[in-house]
Amino acid sequence: MPFGGDERFFTRDSGLFSRGLRRLGHESMAVMPGSPQAGDLQELLRVPYKNLESPEFWRELRLDGVILYSWAAPRYLPIARAIETAGIPFLVNVDSCGLVSRPANPQLWWRDLVPYLMRKADSPMEAARFVAQVVDNLGIHRVARGRLKTYEAATVVCGVSPMASQWLRNEAIHFGREDLSAKVHYLPHPQMDVFSYNGQRKENMVLSVARWEREDWAQKNPSALLEALQRFLAACPDWKACVIGSGASQLAKRLGKAQAPHLERCEFMDFIQPDQLVPFFCKAKIGFWSSRSEGQIGAGAQALCCGCSVVSGNAGTLSCFHHYTSRESGRLAAGMKAGAMAEALMLEAQAWEAGERDAHRISSIWCDEFHADAVADRALRLLKIAG
């Protein structure tokens, strides 16, 4: 994808992966299609899109390996095949909750993903895409079979949570490709090492960081977020909350919650840079997300690295939180309703007050798993490239 190639790109996902490899002493660059853009850093290589589908282009780079962020989407299969033909080991990242098709987990696909996609289909084009996806999953399986062709070409296939990875295996097994399921592993998105707990005293604060613009509401579910916080703050008068992200400053007003009782103890702040987020994560005790769907939400990983426990709703489309809340690092709500989320927040607050949560321990566990150099090292091992 032709993203911007400035400093912000290199603070997350594939750009940060490249930097993690550099920190381990490997020469690494991010590769993107298109002409150079203003702000592109020197560690980015821009090329014509057609080059990405050329084995000769990849051979000329003389690479030891490639990390391909393509979701294993069939439209990018020519790129995967070009890398394979060039004889380069490569890892394909499937940034998804794992419910990539009905065979991945039929029950949860129907219960959680289909209603979410239906909710997002708020234009004729999106509605047509939704219908096409459901029809495909009811018997054609064109996309799923195309995804398996990328798996065939890849050396390693990685889901971004353990549960998502298992569901990718389920899909391969359903289509009689148990051999491909053996290629599937868990590998999270990397996080900057600035997200670490600095030892400061934790405050009774719930923090939520996400995009809150109108076009993101179907996914981020802010009405449930504010209702849950309102109920939680009413029940826990010695706690406060903070909501950060683009569109946050107008969120309560736009949702008709500006005068809601108890939300006066909730601060709303628009987007701030990652290094400015660190103090908020380090002083908060709980990170909270009301999303209906996430692949691997980076803000949740950052919260854990800074010693927060996390709370979220409970759905198959939130498989990353099933992992995040393990290891005494948080809890899932009983469902997706605001009341269930508020109750989970109350229980998590009680866990902190009872001494059942340890910020240093939480941070240590998840920094070892999520920091960029750790993720890069794991990728090299999966590709059998020396770290």
Residue 242 pLDDT greater than 60, yes or no: yes
Name residues whose C-beta falls within 8 Å of residue 298's C-beta, 6 or more positions apart in sequence.
Answer: 12, 13, 189, 191
Q: Model confidence at 304, in pLDDT bands (50, 70, 90)?
A: very high
Alpha-carbon distances of 357 from 199, 360, 361, rounded to whole Å = 14, 9, 8
Site of tokens 């989320």: 341
Q: Are strands 66-69 and 286-289 parallel, antiparallel or unpaired?
A: unpaired
What pLDDT sits at residue 2?
A: 86
Domain regions of the chain by residue span: 9-101+141-190+372-382, 205-369
pLDDT of 354 above 60: yes
Same fold, 9-101+141-190+372-382 and 205-369: yes
According to the model, what pLDDT value does residue 387 have? 57
Q: Which CATH number fits domain 9-101+141-190+372-382: 3.40.50.300, 3.40.50.2030, 3.30.420.40, 3.40.50.2000?
A: 3.40.50.2000
β pairing state of 330-332 and 205-209 = unpaired
Q: pLDDT tens digits, residue range 99-111? A: 999 999 999 999 9
Residue located via tokens 């426990």: 309
Instruction: Categorize the per-residue pLDDT at 1 as very low, low, confident or very high, splitting at 50, 70 and 90.
Output: confident
- Name the token pair of 368: 């070892």
Q: Where are the beta strands (DSSP E) in the chain?
A: 30-33, 44-47, 66-69, 90-94, 156-159, 184-186, 205-209, 240-244, 266-269, 286-289, 309-312, 330-332
What six digits make up the tokens of 31? 């590769």
**Average confidence (pLDDT) over 317-326:** 98
**Range 151-170 average pLDDT:** 98
pLDDT digits (tens, 9 = 90+) for 263-274: 999 999 999 998
Mean pLDDT of 306-315: 98
pLDDT at 205: 98
> Which has the closest alpha carbon to 32: 7, 9, 55, 62?
9
Q: Which of 274 and 244 is assigned the larger pLDDT?
A: 244
Which CATH code for domain 205-369?
A: 3.40.50.2000
Q: pTM here?
A: 0.96
Is the distance from CB of 53 to CB of 79 less than 8 angstroms?
yes
Could you give the 3-state DSSP secondary structure of residue 66?
A: strand
d(CA 70, CA 386): 24
Task: Give Cα 378 distance to the centre of its chain.
Answer: 18
N- to C-terminal Cα separation, the chain? 28
Query: How much is the mean pLDDT over the chain?
Result: 97
What distance in Å separates the CA atoms of residue 378 and residue 387, rounded to the nearest whole number?
Answer: 8
